[in-house]
Amino acid sequence: MMIKAAIIEDEQNCSEYLSLLLSKNFEDIEIIGIADSIETGLVLLERETPDLVFLDIMLSNNNAFELLRNFNEIKFEIIFTTAHDEFALKALKVSALDYLLKPIDPKELAVAVEKYKKKHNNPFDFSRQLSVLFDRYVNQNDRPTKIALPTMQGYEIINTEDLIYCEADGGYTKFHLKENQVKLVSKNIKIYEDLLSVSNFFRIHQSFLININHIVKYIKGDASQVIMSNGVSLNVSKLKKDEIKNIIKNFAS
């Protein structure tokens, strides 16, 4: 079955290169159109019915959401493209949406297309993931209020305020939430430390990344501990004792 793809990219050399890579390497992808602005992109998406859209997150002086907000329902999958914009990258990682860095690497493109094919066979509504990206990128929200967690069925969106702490479990991460909920994610805790460090989360131990808002007690001593809002005691490493004490003092002041 042919996959109908559209490219929306304001840099001609980038759109031509991506088009060339797709035509050369994927016999089952048909490029149905290329647009270079929000206006021409809207015309293209309304005229055609693409399965997959490669969408630059920044189009001239506007972002991709100026285009997407014209649709009540998004019936196509999106692979975002972006330059080395640190803020955009963090927003995309928090939302767990697929993206490609420019200049596009053929191997990374192949991985993204393969992921799309797997998702296409098991469709799910990714509008909530887009809302996470909107909150972080469009609203320039430095502190993400939501994060997308990959599951077997797709993704689950959780509010960061409901996240009490993360626990390393080998190459996996356990998310301990309110109401004794636990979510297991097949990603390393370091990834979430990088994403959540601006949102009152702190790595107190090799195994624990905690939400400062959920600390109810700090127990000092040789074996320092924090008591979290769910009643769980977590060890604080010796290297992090002074830092966590200062954070708690500043947080309480």
pTM for this prediction: 0.60
Identify the residue with better confidence: 89 or 145.
145
Nearest to 128 by CA among 159, 101, 170: 159
Any idea what DSSP says for residue 137? I
Residue 248: pLDDT band with limits 50, 70, 90 = confident
Are 92 and 194 contained in the same domain? no
Any idea what DSSP says for residue 28? T
- Tell me what pLDDT residue 70 has: 83
Identify the residue with better confidence: 125 or 2.
2
Are 76 and 187 contained in the same domain? no
Residue 95: pLDDT band with limits 50, 70, 90 = low
> Residue range 76-92: average pLDDT?
72
Quick check: 108 pLDDT over 80?
yes
Which value, to the nearest 10 degrees, does the dihedral of the CA atoms of residues 215, 221, 224, 225 take?
-40
Are 164 and 134 contained in the same domain? no
Mind listing the pLDDT tens digit for each residue in 114-123?
988 877 655 4
Residue 196: pLDDT band with limits 50, 70, 90 = confident
Q: Which of 1-10, 82-91, 99-108, 216-225 has the lowest mean pLDDT?
A: 82-91
Are 78 and 158 contained in the same domain? no
Are 212 and 107 contained in the same domain? no
Does residue 42 lie in a domain region?
A: yes
Domain that holds residue 81: 3-138
Are 180 and 124 contained in the same domain? no
Count of domains forming the chain: 2
Does residue 146 lie in a domain region?
A: no
DSSP 63-83: ETHHHHTT-SS--SEEEEEE-
Q: Which of 81, 109, 138 is the last residue of a domain?
A: 138
Are 59 and 126 contained in the same domain? yes
- Please count the other Cβ atoms lying within 10 Å of the Cβ belonging to residue 104: 17
Does residue 144 lie in a domain region?
A: no
Quick check: 204 pLDDT over 90?
yes
User: How much is the mean pLDDT over the chain?
Assistant: 84
Contact 177, 158 (CB under 8 A): yes
Are 70 and 133 contained in the same domain? yes
d(CA 67, CA 202): 36
Residue 67: pLDDT band with limits 50, 70, 90 = confident
In three-state form (DSSP H/G/I as H, E/B as E, the rest C), the secondary structure along 213-249 is: HHEEEEECCCCCEEEECCCCEEECCHHHHHHHHHHHH
Q: Which of 104, 138, 172 is the last residue of a domain?
A: 138
Per the DSSP assignment, residues forming a β-bridge with 184 are 174
Are 107 and 224 contained in the same domain? no
Does residue 177 lie in a domain region?
A: yes
User: Highest mean pLDDT: which of 16-20, 58-62, 249-253?
Assistant: 16-20
CATH number, domain containing residue 197: 2.40.50.1020
Are 8 and 132 contained in the same domain? yes
- Tell me what pLDDT residue 165 has: 97
Mind listing the pLDDT tens digit for each residue in 130-177?
666 666 555 555 566 778 787 776 678 888 889 999 999 988 999 999
Contact 235, 205 (CB under 8 A): yes
Does residue 227 lie in a domain region?
A: yes
Are 90 and 202 contained in the same domain? no
Per the DSSP assignment, residues forming a β-bridge with 183 are 175
Residue 100: pLDDT band with limits 50, 70, 90 = confident
Are 11 and 93 contained in the same domain? yes
3-state secondary structure of 177: strand
Amino acid at 207: S
Does residue 223 lie in a domain region?
A: yes
